[in-house]
Chains A and B, each alone.
Chain A
Amino acid sequence: MFHCKTFASFRAIAGGLALSLALAAGAAAETRLRMTIWSANEAHLKLFNGIAEGFKKENPDVTVSFESLPFENYTTALTTQIAGGNAPDMAWIFETAAFDFVNSGALLPLTKPLAATPGYNLGELSPAATERWSKEGVLYAYPFSTSPFAVFVNNDLIRKAGAKTPAELIAAGQWTWPQAIATAQAVAQTGKGGLVVRDFNYQAWQYLSSVWNAWGAAPWSADGKRCTLADKPMVDALGFIHDAIFVKKAMPGPGQNVDFFAGDAAMTITQISRASLLPKDKRFDWDLVPLPKGPTGDYAIVGQAGIGVLQSGKNPAAAAAFVAYMTNPENSARLAQFFPSARKSLLNAEVLGKTNALLSPAQLDRVVVAGIATGKVMPAHTDFARLQQMVRAGLDAVWQPKADIPAATRAICAQIAPLLAQ
């Protein structure tokens, strides 16, 4: 009896082991891909998961999952994963980190796998959109989001302050930076916030390019070798911003938090994807207008995000196939409701309007289509994180009421010049 029981137990264990091994073998045949993203937005995830399900229908042995990492420390978290030997198969990459990722060889070249995908039509991507993600003519990451900066407006607050709305100023041909700040100042005098450059927060100074580009200013020369922070356009632009903050009180000062989307500010400069933050219950009369005209005329600034395949991932070939599927013309059209595409065929108000319920055709045309067509991409450089930190520390001297802007910018240039020259 005892022996029978023991034998039966052994058989059960052996059977269990065999089943486990069979399952493990089955699991080994399945390819699991992981993509890191910086959005945890429910609607975004629903869209991505829908695309991943579509890919699985065509490739039953491949499962794709999305891992949301915090926006603020996204690149840090991503590189720590890579350092720990746990690199994701695919990753979103900020435009500011593009040079580091593309030049280091961390990314799989994508031109061949994308071009070889039937119906992909890689040629319709504009060279301006792919410039930052390419090296020697080879594309290393797909610019899946090309999102222009624009001004969201709270018309209720502006009318209450007795000022003209930006739409009225545009109609009168007066939508300029001095006028925008005058409007913001009028609202600020009522106790509400004036104009907020979203995400700047006196830390991420690169977002100020949405303002200083109006003066033709840039932190460094086009070839990235020379610091231009102390040049006249930048000093003039910083002087204008400083005056708006500390004299006119038209922009929130350092340490002041004002949220436009909570109805607390007249205007905010941000990307159109933030339209999803507009309040559903405490609604206000809002508008979306292009950036005001500056001393050098009309201008636009674009934020980009790329999708790259990590060489150190476990399945680079399968990951490249998924990127090709995720960014094909059909899926690009779906993604465009949140992330404006760099595909020419999708860059018109009619197509964008199908997936952007919040924005009117006029808003899409004058802000999104025109912005992408003419916009400059946010500043970036190899070793950007170090440069960002050095410039951030130096600009703290500018964000004081009695700042000596020329001296402060000269000091920054002296600090970053060796790094730029490398």
Chain B
Amino acid sequence: MARRSVSAAEPPPAAPRPFWTIARRDTAAGFLFVAPQLAGTLVFMLVPLVLVFWYSLHEWNVLANTFRYTGARNYELLSSDPSLPGVLLASALFSAGLVVLNMSLALLLAVLLNQKLAGIAVFRTLFFSPVVVSLVAWTIVWGFLLQHNGGINGTLRLLGIEGPNWLRTPATAMLSVIVVQVFKNVGLNMVLFLAALQGVPRELYEAARIDGATRWRQFRRITLPLISPTILLTSIITIVGSLQVFAQIAVLTQGGPGVSTTVLVYYLYQQTFQFHRFGYGSTLAILLFAIVALLTLAQWQLRKRFVFHER
């Protein structure tokens, strides 16, 4: 085996490498920057999530001050709860109605407002303004308008039409709640669509026009594919938001008439805070979490089929 030659004069030993190298400093700085966000997520999301799961395995009687481990009993109750199918149906109806109406209206408004016309900014501001209005104030005002002798029926009466009792008839109560929510938040999706529309290269439309494509064909073949990432984003935001609806139901219908507008979050609130069933309420929260997680996952998987740059 060849031996390495050793010089007569040993080189001085290398100075110990400092611990705080540039790379380590950068890493530490990065962690420090995200630390407040991580701490917030840990304290306000992950810890409560674990606690809610823990509570869901217990029967917690607040008044009697008892907290008894019951294993999977609350989950058994969930599977046999006769009210739950109706509640899930109401949630599905609300979500479906909201997503379809909100996204189509937002896209329509974005296309209409994506013009270079004088005063177009006024219209954009007008449609966006409800987003910054307090949700409860917005809902209370709509509650007055939707009363049987309220503003909407008063206007209809001027036209010779006898309007329905919007919030007290099962057929119209859900529709009313959806419409109130659509008008509240359509501006947000509209702005996102508007930004996406303005990012579509003009030359693609010019080329399509030269090839003789109609406006509708241009919209289907150019606009929709190129704004598909935004459609995915807005659909996730809207669906997740729709499953969390509470204030509108609490203010406008309190879950009625009957149980026609008792959506999952409102049902959870009733069980937990009104009926003092904190354990069962936590089980419903876990169900809601699972539904939101599944829907988000499904949408994320679908992006490969619908989002142009994922294909």
Contact = CB atoms under 8 A, between A and B. Distances in A.
A257 interface: yes
Given A82-B62, A202-B168, A256 B258 contact: no
A: interface residue count bin: 20 to 34
A79 B149 CA distance: 36
Given A83-B278, A255-B165, A396 B63 contact: no
A383 B165 CA distance: 32
A318 to B, nearest CB: 20
B147 interface: yes
Interface in A54-99: 75-76, 79-80, 82-83
Interface stretch (A30-38, A176-184, A353-361, A384-392): A384-392
Contacts of B274: 75-76, 385-386, 389
A106 interface: yes
A106 B168 contact: no
Contacts of B275: 383, 385-386, 389
A254 interface: yes
Nearest to A388: B274
A81 to B, nearest CB: 10
A385 B149 CA distance: 30
B63 A399 contact: no
Interface string B158-188: 0000000111110000000000000000000
Interface string A355-398: 00000000000000000000000000001011001001110110
B275 to A, nearest CB: 5
A342 B165 CA distance: 43
Contacts of A100: 63, 276
A106 B254 contact: no
A312 interface: yes
B273 A79 contact: yes
Nearest to B169: A400
B259 A82 contact: no
B255 to A, nearest CB: 7
B51 to A, nearest CB: 12
Interface string B58-79: 0011111100000000000000
A27 B147 CA distance: 53
Contacts of A396: 168, 256-258
Q: Which of B63, B150, B169, B270 has the most CB of A within 10 A?
A: B63
Determine which residue in A79, A311, A312, A394 has the highest number of CB atoms from chain B within 10 A of its CB, and name it: A79
A79 B258 CA distance: 26
B63 A101 contact: yes
A317 B148 CA distance: 52
Contacts of B149: 255-257
Interface string A309-329: 001100000000000000000
Contacts of A257: 147, 149
A273 interface: no
- Size bracket, chain B contacts: 20 to 34
Contacts, number: 77
A80 B273 contact: yes
B273 A311 contact: no
Contacts of B63: 79, 82, 100-101, 104-106
A331 interface: no
Contact of B148 (A253, A389, A394, A397): A253
A39 interface: no
A106 B64 CA distance: 5
Contacts of B65: 82, 105-106, 311-312
Name which of A83, A106, A256, A257 has the most chain B CB atoms within 10 A of its CB: A83
Interface in B215-242: none
A399 B62 CA distance: 35
A187 to B, nearest CB: 16
A392 B259 CA distance: 9
A203 interface: yes
A254 B165 contact: yes
B179 to A, nearest CB: 16
Contacts of B62: 79, 82-83
A82 B254 CA distance: 24
Nearest to A75: B274
B157 to A, nearest CB: 14
A60 B276 CA distance: 37
A399 B165 CA distance: 11
Given A104-B61, A106-B64, A389-B274, A253 B258 contact: no
Contacts of A76: 273-274
A254 B172 CA distance: 14
B207 to A, nearest CB: 56
Given A79-B276, A203-B254, A255 B167 contact: yes
Contact of B256 (A104, A106, A392): A392
A302 to B, nearest CB: 24
A253 B168 CA distance: 10
Contacts of A202: 168
A384 to B, nearest CB: 10
A385 B257 CA distance: 17
Given A104-B61, A254-B148, A389 B258 contact: no
Given A393-B258, A399-B168, A255 B147 contact: yes
A412 to B, nearest CB: 11
A223 to B, nearest CB: 22
Nearest to B61: A104
Contacts of B165: 253-255
Nearest to B255: A393
A357 B149 CA distance: 37
Contacts of A79: 62-63, 273, 276
Given A104-B64, A105-B64, A397 B273 contact: no
Nearest to B65: A312
A383 B262 CA distance: 20
Nearest to A203: B254
Given A106-B63, A393-B258, A393-B259, A256 B148 contact: yes
Interface in A101-120: 101, 104-106
Contacts of B168: 202, 254-255, 396, 399
Contacts of B169: 400
Please name the 6 residue pairs, one residue from A and one from B, whose CB atoms are nearest each other, closest first: A104-B63, A255-B148, A396-B257, A254-B168, A106-B63, A104-B64
Given A203-B254, A257-B149, 13 more contacts: A79-B273, A80-B273, A82-B62, A104-B64, A105-B64, A106-B63, A253-B165, A254-B165, A255-B146, A311-B65, A389-B270, A389-B274, A400-B169
10 contacts: A79-B276, A80-B273, A83-B60, A83-B278, A104-B64, A105-B64, A255-B147, A257-B147, A385-B275, A386-B274
